[in-house]
Structure formats: C-alpha cells, structure tokens
Structure 1
Amino acid sequence: MKMNHEKAISLPNFSSSLFTIHLLLLFCLICLTQLPTSTVSAALILRHYSNETDRIALLDFMHRISNDPLNSWNHSQHHCRWQGVSCGRRHHRVVALRLPMKGLVGTISPHIGNLTFLRDLNLSSNTLSGHIPGQIGRLFRLRYLDLSANTLTGELVAANLSNCVHLRKIIVSQNGLSGKLPTNLSTLKKLQSLELNKNQFTGGIPSAFGNFSSLQLLFLEINHLQGSIPREITQCWNLNVLYLGLNNLTGKLSSAFFNMTSIIEFSITDNSLQGTIPASIGDTMPNLEGFFVSGNKFHGTIPISFPNASKLQFLDLSANYFVGKVPGVIPSEIGNLQKLQLLTLGKIPSTLYNLTSLAALSIRDSNLYGNIPPDVKNFRNLNAMLLSSNRLSGTIPQQVFDLQSLSKSLDLSNNSFTGQLSPAVGKLKTLNTLDISRNKSSGRIPEAIGDCLSLEVLYMNDNLFEGKIPPSLISLKSITYLDISNNKLTGEIPRELQKLHLLQYLDLSFNDLEGEVPTVGVFAVATNVSLLGNKKLCGGIPELKLPPCPAKKTQHRKHPKIIVVVFACVSVALIFASFLAFLILHYCKKNDKSKEFSEKSTNLNLSKISYSYLHCATEGFNETNLIGSGSFGSVYKGRFQQGGEQIVAVKVLDLCKKGASKSFLAECKVLRNIRHRNLVPILTCCSSCDLMGNEFKALVYEFMENGDLDTWLHPHSDGERTNVLSALQRLNISIDVASALDYLHNDCEPPVIHCDLKPSNILLDKDLTAHVGDFGLSRLYSRTIGDSSGKSSTLGLKGFIGYIAPEYGMGANATTCGDVYSYGIFLLEMFTEKRPTYDFSSDGCSSLSEYVETALPHEVMKIVDPVLLACQESSNHGIRGKEQLKNPGKLVEIEESKMDDFFISVFKIGLCCASRSPMERGNMKDVCRELHKIRNAFFV
C-alpha cells in the first residue's frame, strides 16, 4: 500500500508534455471560473464594513445621551430602521439623522463625522450641550444642518463647516455659541440659509459674508455684534430675508442696501444705526413685504415712496428720530397700502383708517392724544388693537366694540378715557384679552361684560367704577386673570365667583366691599386673591387674616296678635327717638368743649418730657453726640435710662431761625396721628425752657443705626466712598419711600404733603429699611372741591434746590404732585449717583432728568452708578471700607442680558414722576405697584 501511494504521488512527474499542458489549461480555467466569485465577496465585505462603521457611530451617539428616549435603537433590528435614521437604497448607508424635539440630553458624539454619506442632520429643540464637534466638517456631502434650540457652547469656527461644500442650510440659532462669526463659512457657495440668531456671537459682521452668492436667508439678530453693517452684504444678489436686529450695530447704512430688489423682509431693529432712509425706497425695493427699523437713530422724514411698495404688509418705524408735524411725519399716502397687516408708528395721519386689511394695530407709548374717531369701524379685519400708554381721552367709542373681528387683544390701558363703559362691549364674544385699566372710566360695570364668553384676561383696575360687582361675571367660564381693584365698588362679593374653576388670580383690593368672603375656588388660596383696602370684609380662610363675621341673629317668630306687634314697634321707636335726642345734646356739649380743647391740645401734648432729662440724655448736648444738622436745628444722639437703656435721636430746634417754631408745630401736628413702618417714629417732644430761661423745643425720634441715605449714596469730603448699596437694596429702599408717600397721600385724612423729600431726610435702620423723616415743611392738603388754598396755614413753602417741583417756582400751591416730582428726582439719583445740582453741561444736558432721558434706551449703562458695576457685595448691609471697593464683582445680582431692561424700567418710572407737567406724573400707588412688579420680575 505504501508503494502504490508513492507511485500515485509521483505519477505526474513521469507524464508526457501534453498532459502537463492540459493540466495547466485546466488550472487556468478553474482560476478564471473562480474570479467573479472572489470580486463579489470582496464587495460584500467592504459594504458590510461600511454599514458597521455607521452602526458603531450611531451607537456611540446614543451612548452620549444621558436619558434614554431612543428605545428603538437596539440590536433587534437593522440600524437603518432605527427611529430618525434614514439610509440610501443603493449602498444602505446612513443619509439622514433627524431627531428634533425628542428630549435628548447630553453631548454630540464626534463619531458622527464617520457618517460620511450623511446629507441631513437635524438635532434641533433638544437639550444637547457642549461644543459642536469638529468632526462634522468631514461630512462633505452634508446639505442641511439644524442644531438650533439647544444649549451648545463654544465657537462655531471649531466645527470647520467650510469643508461641507454642499451645505445649503445652517441653523444653529438659540444656543450659547460665542466668539466671532467664522469667515471661512463664505466658501460655502451653495449655502441658501444661514441662521445664527439668539446666540452670544461678538465682534463685527465679516465682510466675507458678501461671498454667499446663493444665500437667501440671513438671521443674525439677538447677539452681541458690533460695528457697522458691511456694504459687501449687498453683493448677495439672491438675499430675500435679512434680520440683524437686537445687536449693538452702529454707523450708517450704505445706500446700496436700499437697492436690493430681491429683499422681501428687512429687519435691523434695536441697534444704534443712524442716517436717513432714502425717499425712493418704495421704488427700489418693489418686493418688500416687511420693513422693521424701530429702535435706531434714523432721522429725517419717512420716505414718501413707501406706498409704491405694493406688497408691503409689515411696517415698523417706531422709536426713531423722524421729524415733522402731523401729518408731515407720516405721509398721507401711507393710506394706499391696502395690504398692510401690521403697523407700528409714533404719530399717525387720518388716512390710517383707509387700511381696511389691517390685522394688528400697535401704537403704544407714543404720546397720542385726542379721541378715537368713529372711523375706527373701517378696521373690519382687526384682531388686535394695542393703544396703551398714550394720552387718549373721551369715552371709548361704541365703534371699537363693533369690531367683532377683535379676537386677540384690546388694550386701551394707561390713557385718560372717561365716561361710562358702553354695554356694546358684550359684542366682543371672541376676545381673549381686554385691558382698560388705569383710565378714568366711571359708572357701573355693564352686565353685558358677561357676554364676552372667550375672555381669559380682564383688567379694569384703577378706574372710577362704582356700584356692585356684576353677577354676570360668572358667565366668563374661561377667565384666568381678573383685576377690578382700585375702584369704588360696593356691596358683597358675588359668591358665584368661586365657581370659576379656571380663575387663577382675582384682585378686588381697594374698593369698599363688605360681607363674608367665600372660601372655595380661587378664594381657597390666599396668594391667588387680593382683598386689601376693603375694611368691611370678614370671614374667608384664616390666611387672609380677616375679622370673623358676626353671628347671624335668629329671627323671632311674629306674634300672632297684630296689636302686640304694633305696640312693640311704637315702643322701640319712642325709645330710639329718646336715645337719639340724648346723643345729639351730648354731642353738642362735647363739640363745644372739643373746640376749646383743640386750641390747647398742641401745648398740652408738647410737655411730655423735661429739658433736664434731655440735657442728661445727651450729656449736655455734647458735640460728640452731634449726629447732624438740618434746616431748623441740630440732631443729637441720646440715651434714655428708664426701663432699660434706649438710644434715641433728639432734634433740637434753633428758634432763632425764622420758621423754626412753625416747623416744630407742623411736625407735631403731622406725626401725632400717622403711623407707618416707613415713617420715622416720633417718641415724644419737649416744649420748655433751658437752664438760662430761654425757650426750648425738641422732638425725640427712634434712633436709626445706619444714618441717612445721603451718606450711602455720595462720597464724603475726602472723596472716599465708604458705603455702597446693591441694586436690590436701592430698589427696596425706593419701594419703602414710595410706600410711605402712598400712605401720606392716599391713606391719611386729610392727605399729608411732605414738601422736602431728599436722601438726607431718609433714614435707614439696622436692616436698611428706609424711614422718611423731617416733616418740618409738611402740610395738610384739602381735597375739598372749591378750596382754593389747597393747604393749611402752617408754613410758607420751602424745599431743597433740585427736588422742588417746577410749578412751585411759579407760585403754585403745594400738592401731592410736588412730592411725586421730588420722588422722581430721588429715584434717578438713587441709580445714577448724580445729585440734581450736579453740573450736566459737559454732557450737553441741563438737568438730571434730561441726562437720564438722553441716555435711554441704548446708552443706559453709561449713566448707572459705576460703583454698582465694579464692586462686590460683601455683606447684607453693602460694602464698608475702600479696600473692599477695589474687589471685582457685582452689586447687580441680575443676569447680564437683563441688566439693561432692569435699569431702563426703573429710570422710566423716575422720568414719569419727574415730568415737568403735574398732570403727567404718576400716582404714588401706581408707582409702588410698578416697582413691586420690577422686583418680582428681576429678583424673585
């Protein structure tokens, strides 16, 4: 067997040459036959490897998502069938990854760059964070990229998107991306849409953006971009929409911008752009549908060719410096814009009412005056009318309520409308929001208000409405917010209001309501209802802290005998008449005595403490105890020893000064009957003689540990700033002072006018709570109609320069409006650190009000007290010591993006109060409310 095997093996070696040739041919044939099979196997292996690469990249993407919303991404099915994944039919490679609004939390995997066939990547509206991975730059086939509405950070240049030469759309808006705009994006010749808005990009707009030859949409608004808008952008011949608003752009616009015939929407709102708008804009931009340039510094007249822009639907030219008289500011031809749907202007011509297609009319805070004309009925398609914060007057015309197209909002608040509210208001059956607050409307609230069945928000506060709350309000089943506070409403609270299940907040405060308060529905939560200022209410839930309602007396059964009933009634009547006669006689006697007593009451009440006791308490009025001096005397620190040591402030009147005695009497008269947490409490007084027999008068107050506000706001004579208040502390102090004035003006009878409000008359206790003091110039104000005096005869008018209302200089009587003016100046001083007597000529201004008004809104941070923006709060009482003032940090505990809004809001209130016209100043109750809103919006 072995031998045969060896022969079999060695057989070919002894074969003929022909056999060898046949063998070679057979081998070649076999190789040729097997070749296609090998090639197919290699292709299959390569495809499998590529698909596996895509799958691994997707798995790594999923592993970087901290939550698990991608339940379908598992090994039970092919990755091309996973949620949001799309593959090509030919190669089965991933060509699209679309996962918008899936709640993804985590970071973007850099392995996403291995999806080399990817053409569409959409991860918008999630909570993805971190940087945009640079590996995205490998996706040269990518056409659409949408990473908007996430929390991505870092610089966009790191992604190197310039390699994605096929990109047509980039959306990375609403993130936290920073740095300068990348210039290398300009190589993307096929890019049609670039949306980088709502980020934190800085620097200027690159001139290289003019190379976007295919670009149609460019959104760069709401960033921190600076500098001028490069003229090169006008080379984007296909640009249809350009949004650059809400940045810090400056300079003038090149005239070439207004020759871009392809532009449909143009928005550059809220920048500091200057110059004029060409008169031919309507001719050179025939496709224009939206033109938004509000909040800039454009001047001149509004272009007269706007009506030639026949497609224009949205026009916003407000908050600029256009000049001329009505109708010179707005050309009358604007009435030809029949397609206009949104109009926001400063002043308007009568031709406005030709705009019958108008869907929204917004002319707020524009100093409009006069009546709403009947022509308003022409707005047949209007769904929102916003005319708040103007000077409109007269009654609200019925034609407004005839606009049954009004479905979104009717806002006529903060005007001077008078008269009764027409029952025609019930025609607005589809209206969502009605606001007629802060007007002078009077009469009863019409029952027809209950016919506005779609109302969700109703504000009728701060008017003169009277009578009972209409029960028809129960018909407003959709109402969520209802405010009818600060009126003259009477009667009981309709119990049906507790059945409004959607009602979230109800404000009935400062009326004259009475009776029992319900306890269910909106009344079940104390924070959801406000009932302040209704002294006759009772009951309710314990958190409202209302007095309990008196027990209802059970009625006795009527006696069956009519004679007995008549006899009882007559007896009661006789007893009542006798008792009434006794009261009248007693009152007459008491009144005679009270007149005599009132003349002596002042002198009787002034001798409550002796001179010797005050002399001992102040160590002989030693200069070491001298706290300060004022208009009519000096203030000493004293110590009372009776019942434990008590530190007090003793104000000693210098009776040699003219008016000092009257100041003493005025302050005693005012402070005798008023009590408020933000007024300096008076403890006692002294009217006696000193050791030399001279007349002596003094007032004793509670001692305030932190002194007066003036020392906190302004440096000492050596220039050092030892005390610093944070923005919140200043706001709290401003609210304290406003609350005190509101009490004096609106809750005292008769009202009290302070007449000398300034920082040095505002004292701070150990908790930095403000207390208004020094009532030496105050006077009692008569509300009686026909009282020409408008004042008591206590004292001639005085005050401090800079805080005195302008009308006082022309001989006007003291009114509460004068205090409001002083408060406005005080509020501006609080946040600018500038005294009203400061020389503003270097800033081109003549007063503190003009100095602030000139800076609003775009340069507001230039006028804010610089210490607020450069110091760090070291304690709850501000900063003490110049060493600490050098530390970097903040005294404004607000997000940087909201700082401007905070200071603008405060300064606007100050300017309103400090208006030269008394009629334009606010009421202190309104001022308190607005300041509380600011504190809640920025600090709570």
Structure 2
Amino acid sequence: MSGLSLAGFISPVIGNLTFLREVDFSHNKLQGSIPREVGHLKRLVYLSLKFNHLNGEIPEELSNCSNLQEIAFTANNITGEIPVSLGDMKNLINLHLAYNLLIGGIPASLGNISTLKVLSLEQNKLKGTIPSSLGKLSNLEHMYIGTNKLSRSVPPVHNFSSLLVLDAAVNQLSGNFPPEIGCTFPNLEAIFIGLNQLTGEIPRSISNISSLELFDIALNGFTGSVPKNMGNLRNLLVLTISGNYLGSGKPGDLSFLSSLSNCSRLQSLGINYNHLYGVIPDSIANFSIWLEELFMGDNQIIGRIPQGIGNLINLDLMEMKGTFIAGEIPISIGNLQNLEGLYLGFNHLSGKIPSSIGNLSRLSDLNLSNNKFAGAIPLSLKQCTNLQKLDLSTNNLNGSIPYQLFGAFERLIYLNLSYNSFTGSLPSDMRNMKNLVEFYVHNNNFHGEIPMTLGESLELTTLFMRKNSFHVPSLNLLPPLRSLENLDLSNNNLSGTIPPELQKLPFLVRLNLSFNQLEGEVPKKGVFKNATGFSFFGNKNLCGGIPKIQLPKCFSEKPKEKGKARRGTFMPSSLFDNSCLRLSYKELLECTHGFASSNLIGTGSFGSVYKGVLYQHEKPLAVKVLNLRNHGAARSFIAECKALRKIRHRNLLKIITSCSSIDYQGNEFKALVFEFMPNGSLESRLHEQNDQSRYLNFAQSRFWIGKALVYRHKQYWKRSNKFLSDQGNNWLQYGMSLSVSPEGDIYSYGIMLLEMITGRRPTCDLFHDGLSLHNFCKMALQEGLKEIFDVHLVEEIGLILGTINPKWSVQVLEFVGH
C-alpha cells in the first residue's frame, strides 16, 4: 500500500493479522505512533513505514517479531532512544532508522546482529561513542552514522572485511584515523568522514584500498603531506581533502598531483583550503578526461596556470581562487566548453582577459575579481549568454562598456564591475538584464545619466554606484526600482531634491546619498524614518527630516491667512537664489572662532554681529546672529529674508546668504550673512571720527543714502549695526517690527541729517521729559540756528571751503563767532 496518499493513524487492530509477512505503508501521510500491537505479528519479515509523518517512540514489542529481516522507518518524526532489545533480532539484515529525531547512543547490543548488512542511523540526534561491538558485524556492508553528535575517537576494528561504505561525516569525532584502515577495510568503496575533528596524517595504507572510489575527509584537522602514492587508487572517482592543514609550505607539497594522472576515472578533485605550496605541475594536462570538478584555491600555489589545462575538456567547474598564481590566463581556457563555473579571483593574474573566454557558452558564473587584469572587457564575452554571475571587480580594467555586452546577459542576476577605471556611460541595452538582483559599479570613472532602462530590472535589490560622476537632472528621474533594499549613490554629481517616492520603496533599508549636490526637504517616512538606515552627509542644502538627524527646519513663503502664518510650510535654509553660498551652523561657528567676543562688531535689539573669515575664502563676512529669546526675533528674520530676496542695489550692502539650523545644544539658530565692510557703522562714522572725516561722511552719506531711499522706499531702516562701503550703506532694519512707509523713510532720513548737523545722538542725555532731537532743532529755527550747530563741524567745513574760496571760509568763521 505504498504511495497511495493514505492518511490517518495505524490502527492497533493490525496486531490481529498474525499471518502477515510483509507490511509496506511507505510514502504516505500516516501520522501518530507505531502501535505496540505490531509486536504480535510473529511471522512478519518486512516492515516499511518510511516517508510518513509518524511520531512517538519505537515500541519495545517490535523485538518480538523475531523473523523480521528489514525494518524501514526512515524519514519520519520518531523520537526516543533506539530500543536495546533490537539487538535480539537475529535475522535482521537491514535496519533503516535515518532522518528521524532519535536521541541517546547507539546500543552496543546491535553488535549482536551478525546477519546485519545495512545499518542506517544518519540524520538523527544520537550522541556518545561508536560502540566497539560494531566491529563484530562481519557481514556489515553499509554503515551510515553521519550527521549526528557522535564523539571521541574511531574505535579500532579488525573484522570489517565486508564493509563497502563508511559514512561517519558531520559528527564530533576526534583523534587519529585508524592507521590500519587499508588492511582492515580492504573492500571499501566509499569513505565519508568529513566535518569532524580528526587529526594526524592521512594513513599511508589508504592507497592499499584499490576498490576505493570516494574518499572525502574534508573539514577536519589533518596535517602533514598527502601520500604520493594516491595514484594507486585506480578506481578513484572523488578525492576531497579540502579544509585541512595539509602541506608543509615548502616545494613538493603538490608532487602527489602527478600520480593522480593514473586515476583515469577521476571526476572530482578537491584540495582547496590547505597549506599546500608549489607550482601546478604540467602533468595536470594528463588528468582524467572525465574530470568535471577541480578545486585548488586557498593554497600557497605559485607560478602560472599550465597551458595544458585546456585538455580537461569535460571540466564544468574550475576553482583556483585565493592563491599566488600569476601571469595571464592561458588561451587554451577557451577549450573548456563545458565549463559552467570559473573562479580565479584573489590571485596575481595580469594581462588582458582572453577573448577565448567567449567560447565558454555554458558559463554561468565567472569570477576574475581582485587581480591585476588590464584593458577592456572583451566583446566576445557577450557570447556567454548563460551568465548568471559576473564579477570583474578590483582590477585595472578600463575603457567603456562595449555596447551589446549587457544586452546579451538576459539571465544575469549578479554583476560587479566595482573598483576599476571604467569610463563612459552605462549602455542603454541594460534593459535586457531583467533578472538582475545585485549591481555594483562603484569606484569607477563612469559619467552621464543613470539609464532609465535600469528600471526594467524589476528584481534589483542592491545598487551601488558611489564614487563616479553620474548625474541626473533630478532624482525624480531615477528609474523605478520597487524591489530595492540597498541603494548607494554617494559621491556623484546628483542634484535637485530628494524625491518623496524613495520613502515609498517598501523594501529599502539602506540608502546613501552623501556628498552630492542635493537640496531641499528630506522625507520622513520609509527608509528616512530610521537615522541609521540612510546617510546624507556632504549635501549642504538639505533641511527637514526626522529630528534625530538634526537638519535645519524647512520654512515656506506661502501667503498668510488672516494675518497669521500657516503651519507646516516649507522654505529652504538658504532663502535666496540658487547661486547663494550655502553655509552651515558649523561653518559659521568656525569662521567666527566660536562667536568670540574678539570678533564682535556690534549688538542690537535682535542680535549681535560678528566678523568672520571662511576657510579658503579671502573676503571676510559679517554674520548677524539673531537672539531668538527676544520676542519677535524669529518673525523679524523671516520678514527680513523676504525683503532681502528682492533687493539688488549698488548702494545697499550685499546680502550673501542666510542660515537656519540647530546649534550644538539643540537650540534653534538663525543668522544673516553680509559682505563685511571695514569702515564701521553709520553711528561710528557720525560720532566717533575726526572732524574732517565727519564732514566727508556728512557729504557722502547724505548723497548715497538719499539714492538708496529712492530704491528702498518701502523699507524701514535703522542706524546701528550697518556697514558702510565707499559708496553706500545697508539701510535695512533686521527687526522689521514697525510698519513701514515712504513717510517713515523720509522722517528717519531727516533725523539722520539732524544728527550730522548737531553732532548729537537721538539718545543724548539732553533729551528727556518730552524733548527730542527733532523738537530741539525745531525750536532753534526761532531762537537761532547757531545754538544747535556742531561748532567743530562748522569750523572744519569752513577751513575746507577756504581751500576752494577764501571768502567762504571768512563767512563761515564769522557765523561761528556770532
């Protein structure tokens, strides 16, 4: 009743069928435990319950079936220990308990079953030692005890003359392999003891087992040399000694290879991951013509790849990575037309990639990375239309990617061209690589736009393009890549804003946009909501994002509603045109020496002004830092930015940029940056200069300020903290807290003229109890102008006028005398 998709449980009433000789319920969907009543079937010879879903323990009563010759419980979920009573079954020939969940040790009683030929216990959870009693099984032909947790050393045996297959791989066996193995196992055909902890040398007697076809001791701790007479194993099909410590690191370690030319049936040779030193002998050309797999990598192999490698025409996998092999790849490599995998990475190979590789039409995996190859990728490679993985990274390859090359790789899933010197743009025929999953072109000299055809690679999860010169007019023109998990576009020439569509990519977990020319708002969702998931350094014009990344807030110039600003609006941190210098809080902090008092130029109601010099800039700057604790300072900053964006006049001091950010204490920071003029403030020019300079200031300021007022008739200006050039002054008020009008401009201009004439400040102690500078001068119109004139200024004016006309000087002095 095998393979009938039977389900349910095995009924205990089966025990009533006492005349049953064979029961085969294999390859069904039976579940539950094996009923104890099976022990009533005394005539039973064959019991197969393999490949079901049975659980529970093996019933002790099973040993009552003394005529059983075969028990097959393979591939179930049977638990518990192997019953010791099974050792009483004197007629048992085959015991199959593999691929279950059995625990405990191997019962020593099994050594009593002298008729046993097959003992299959692999893929369980058995532990303990291999019982020495198993050595009594003189008829045993197949012993499968691999993939358990068996430990300690392999016991010496002297009566396994019938054993054909020994599989004890993937355990925790230790100690030396029995040196007498070649004598006690004379008929062995297969030895699998890989993935244990065995040590010592490979027994020299192994070469006596002339019937040996498979010898696998990989991933142990074997040391010493490989027996030179391994060629005596004429029937050898597979020789795997990989992953040990074989070899002395001296010439001669590879001499055993020459003897293997006698193994005319050899199909697979694995000597990789050892300490073998030396040159690959030319005799490798005489290896079996049936050789399909050759693993030699991660050794201390020197010299070149022999030209005779081309004789191994049935090779489908050749691995020589991680050695010291140098020179060029022999042209004869093109003879290996059955080759599917070629791994030559991490060597010292040089020269050009031979065009004969194009003959390898079955090639699916080509790895030439980390060598010294130069020149261009041969166009003949396009003939390898079955390529799925191509790695040419970390070489000296150059030139552009040949057109039609990518178009041939419709099956490609992995492409790595990184760390070379490729130039030009990526070809548009990338559209054919629809199955591409990983694409690496970083650290090259590519330029041009990222091709939109890349968007047809719908399976693409990883795209690394950093350190090139790629550009796109806008990141919004990036191809749609819905499966992306890792995207690195750092160190390119990308500009524009970060498209919000990136936050909608459902699988994107790593994003690097650092060191480009991006600006505007950083999104907050998707990959952008995790500060460790994306990088944006080196883009000075970004704002917004989640608070943890500490970018300046984004503001907007949207119109107000009913006199109130709207919330959630957007304005770039630089509030002027795109040509403005972009400065960060850090740069302003450094250029003013930490806003040091020695750099302080002046203070006002809304902030302080500092002199600063930017790194690699010759001209100094004037940095106005707003005191945001003052009521209305933040509003004044935005209002002034609006005004300064629109003003361009030669008599108004040039605004350079603004900065809206967060300082190192997490406080909001706002500043305006102007050209620095060394002539001081208007107040100092009017009141702290010598008399002659004051007269010149009087003449110049009156003229240039008047012209500026004509231009700026809608702005309100303020005297303190303005910086004069030789032609003019900045008459914009930072505060903007008062309403402005042309009348107000004219009135303020008049007050400034009165300051010039009288030499008095509006804040002079003389003015109190309702008396102001304006009223003071107004009363003088009736009582006498000479009472209000600055005498020293008038005298200086007279002396200067005397150089032009002596009469003018006398008239002025007479006025002063009166």
When normalised by structure 2's length, the TM-score is: 0.55
Quick one: which of 527, 534, 539 aligns to 1:529? 534
- Do structure 1's residue 311 and structure 2's residue 314 form an aligned pair? yes
The residue aligned with 2:377 is 372
* Counterpart secondary structure, 1:208: helix
In structure 2, the partner of 1:294 is 297
Aligned to 1:422: 427
Count of aligned pairs between the two proteins:
512
What's the CA shift string for 1:257-289, capped at 9, x where partnerless? 233212112221233334444434334522222
Q: Which residue identity lines up with residue 255 of structure 2 in the other structure?
A: L
**1:229, distance to aligned residue in structure 2 (A):** 0.7
Contact 2:451 2:479 in 1 (8 A): no
Instruction: Give the counterpart letter for 1:260 in structure 2.
Output: C
The Cα of 1:388 is off from its aligned counterpart by: 1.1
Query: In structure 2, what is the Cα distance between the partners aligned to 1:490 and 1:130?
Result: 66
Cα distance change on mapping 1:91 and 1:353 into 2, 3 Å: same
**Structure 1 residues 247 and 489: alpha-carbon distance in aligned structure 2, compared to 1, 3 A threshold:** same
1:167 matched to which residue of 2? 163
Q: Which amino acid aligns with 1:224?
A: G
8 Å contact kept, 1:404–1:430:
no
Classify 1:385/1:298 alpha carbon distance in 2 versus 1 (closer, same or farther; 3 Å): same
Q: CA deviation at 1:523?
A: 3.4
- For 1:246, give the aligned amino acid: G
In structure 2, relative to structure 1, the CA distance for the partners of 1:176 and 1:592 (3 Å cut) is farther
User: Equivalent of 1:590, from 647, 656, 677?
Assistant: 677
Asked if structure 1 preserves the Cα contact closer than 8 Å seen for 2:272 and 2:299, the reply is: yes
Of 193, 198, 214, the match for 1:217: 214
Asked if the contact 1:298–1:320 (Cα under 8 Å) also holds between the matched residues in 2, the reply is yes
1:536/1:73 Cα in 2 relative to 1: closer, same or farther (>3 Å)? farther
The amino acid that maps onto 1:581 is: L
CA deviations over 1:633-661 (Å, ceiling 9, x no partner): xxxxxxxxxxxxxxxxxxxxxxxxxxxxx
CA deviations over 1:317-357 (Å, ceiling 9, x no partner): 45555566x4xxx4433322222222234344332323233
C-alpha separation in 1, matches of 2:476 and 2:140: 64
Contact conserved, 1:301 with 1:323, CA < 8 A, in 2? Answer: yes
Structure 2: give runs of 5+ residues left out of the alignment.
Answer: 1-17, 19-35, 43-52, 64-70, 79-85, 248-252, 563-641, 657-672, 681-818
Aligned to 2:398: 393
Q: State the shift of 1:469 in Å.
A: 6.5
Residue 334 (structure 1) aligned with residue 421 (structure 2): no
2:175 to 179, 196, 200: 179
Aligned equivalent of 1:253: 255
In 2, distance between residues paired with 1:76 and 1:228?
49
Cα offset for 1:501? Answer: 2.4
- Asked if 1:267 is matched to 2:270, the reply is yes
Give the counterpart letter for 2:457 in structure 1: C
CA distance in 2, matches of 1:54, 1:153: 37
Matches within 5 A, 1:787-826: none
Is residue 494 of structure 1 aligned with residue 478 of structure 2?
A: no
Q: Distance in 1 between matches of 2:547 and 2:108?
A: 60
The offset of 1:467, in angstroms, is 3.1
User: Taking structure 1 as reference, are residues 507 and 584 closer, same or farther at Cα in structure 2, changes over 3 Å only?
Assistant: closer
Query: What is aligned with 2:464?
Result: 459
Residue matched to 2:193: 196
Q: Which amino acid aligns with 1:191?
A: L
1:39-92 CA distance string (max 9 Å, x none): x9xxxxxxxx9x98999xxxxxxxxxxxxx97243659968585648999x988
Counterparts of residues 109-124 of structure 1 (less than 5 Å): 110=108, 113=111, 119-124=117-122
Change (3 A) 1:368 1:474: closer
The answer on whether the counterparts of 1:54 and 1:93 sit within 8 Å (CA) in structure 2 is no
Q: After superposition, give the CA deviation of every residue in 1:745-768 in whole Å (9 maximum; x if it has no partner).
A: xxxxxxxxxxxxxxxxxxxxxxxx
Given that 1:337 and 1:355 are in contact with CA atoms closer than 8 Å, whether structure 2 keeps it comes out as yes
Task: Name the aligned partner's letter for residue 417 of structure 2.
Answer: L
Runs of 5+ consecutive residues of structure 1 not aligned to the other structure: 1-39, 41-48, 56-68, 558-570, 594-940
1:279 counterpart residue number: 282
Aligned residue in 2 for 1:73: 57
User: 2:343 is matched with which residue?
Assistant: 344
Which of 352, 364, 368 is the matching residue for 1:363?
A: 368
Alpha carbons of 1:418 and 1:538: their partners in 2 closer, same or farther (altered >3 Å)? same
Please state how far the C-alpha of 1:239 moved relative to its aligned partner.
0.5
Provide the secondary structure at the position in 2 that maps to 1:305.
Answer: helix
Question: How far apart, in 2, do the equivalents of 1:201 and 1:408 lie?
Answer: 39
What is the distance in 2 between the residues matched to 1:140 and 1:202? 27
Question: 1:452: Cα distance to partner?
Answer: 0.6
Distance 1:138 1:473 in 2: 73
Name the amino acid aligned to 1:171.
D
Equivalences for 1:54-133 in 2 at 5 Å? 71-73=55-57, 84=75, 93=92, 95-100=94-99, 102=100, 110=108, 113=111, 119-125=117-123, 128-133=126-131
* Contact 2:357 2:381 survives alignment (8 Å): no
Q: Aligned runs of 1:20-59 on 2, under 5 Å?
A: none
Q: Is contact 1:241-1:263 (8 Å) kept?
A: yes
Structure 1 residues 437, 467: closer, same or farther in 2, change over 3 A?
same
Q: State the secondary structure of the residue aligned to 1:420.
A: coil
| CA distance in structure 2 between the partners assigned to 1:103 and 1:243 by the alignment | 29
Cα shift readout 1:760-794 (whole Å, capped 9, x = no counterpart): xxxxxxxxxxxxxxxxxxxxxxxxxxxxxxxxxxx
SS state at 1:338 partner: coil
- Matches of 1:54 and 1:360, distance apart in 2: 57
Q: How far 1:441 moved relative to its partner? A: 1.8
1:462 and 1:513 mapped to 2: Cα distance? 15
Give the stretch that moved more between structures: 360-369 or 378-387. Answer: 378-387
Instruction: Tell me how far apart the structure 1 counterparts of residues 397 and 677 of structure 2 sit (CA, whole Å).
Output: 51
- Determine which structure has more spread, i.e. the larger CA radius of gyration: 2
Determine the structure 2 residue equivalent to 1:520. 525
Q: CA deviation at 1:111?
A: 5.4
State the Cα distance separating 1:387 from its structure 2 match.
0.8
Change (3 A) 1:240 1:466: same
Letter in 1 for 2:653: F
| Distance in structure 2 (CA, Å) of the matches to 1:126 and 1:169 | 19
Q: Is residue 208 from structure 1 mapped to residue 205 from structure 2 by the alignment?
A: yes
CA distance in 1, matches of 2:402, 2:270: 35
Go from structure 1 to structure 2 and tell me whether the alpha carbon gap of 1:232 and 1:298 turns closer, same or farther (over 3 Å shift): same
- Secondary structure, aligned partner of 1:270: coil
Structure 2 CA distance for aligned equivalents of residues 71 and 162 of structure 1: 37
Check 1:96–1:323 CA distance in 2 against 1; reply closer, same or farther (3 A cut): same
Q: SS at the partner of 1:368?
A: strand
3-state SS of the aligned residue for 1:245? coil
Distance 2:189 2:122 in 1: 19
Alpha-carbon RMSD across the aligned residues, in angstroms, is 4.2
Q: Secondary structure at the match of 1:307?
A: helix
**What do the CA deviations read for 1:224-248 (whole angstroms, capped 9, x no partner)?**
2221111232222210111122322
The one-letter amino acid paired with 2:57 is W
Which amino acid counterpart does residue 185 of structure 1 have in structure 2?
I
Match of 1:873 in 2: none
* 1:828-858 superposed Cα distances (whole Å, 9 cap, x missing partner): xxxxxxxxxxxxxxxxxxxxxxxxxxxxxxx
Q: Counterpart in 1 of 2:647? A: 576
Q: Which residue of 2 aligns with 1:904?
A: none
Aligned position for 1:409: 414
Q: 1:125 to 1:470 in 2, by over 3 A?
A: farther
Given the superposition, is the C-alpha separation of residues 258 and 106 from structure 1 closer, same or farther in structure 2, using an over 3 Å criterion?
Answer: same
Shift of 1:125: 4.9
CA distance in 2, matches of 1:194, 1:502: 46
- Flag the 1:459–1:123 CA change in 2: closer, same or farther, 3 A: farther
- Listed one character per residue, the Cα deviations across residues 93-115 of structure 1 (whole Å, up to 9, x for unaligned) are 47233433x56676555555566
Checking the alignment, whether the CA contact within 8 Å between 2:113 and 2:137 is kept in structure 1 is: yes
Give the secondary-structure state (helix, strand or coil) at the position aligned to 1:334. helix
Q: Which amino acid aligns with 1:262?
A: R
Q: TM-score, normalised by structure 1?
A: 0.48
- Secondary structure of the 1:431 match is coil
CA contact (8 A) 2:653 2:675 kept: no
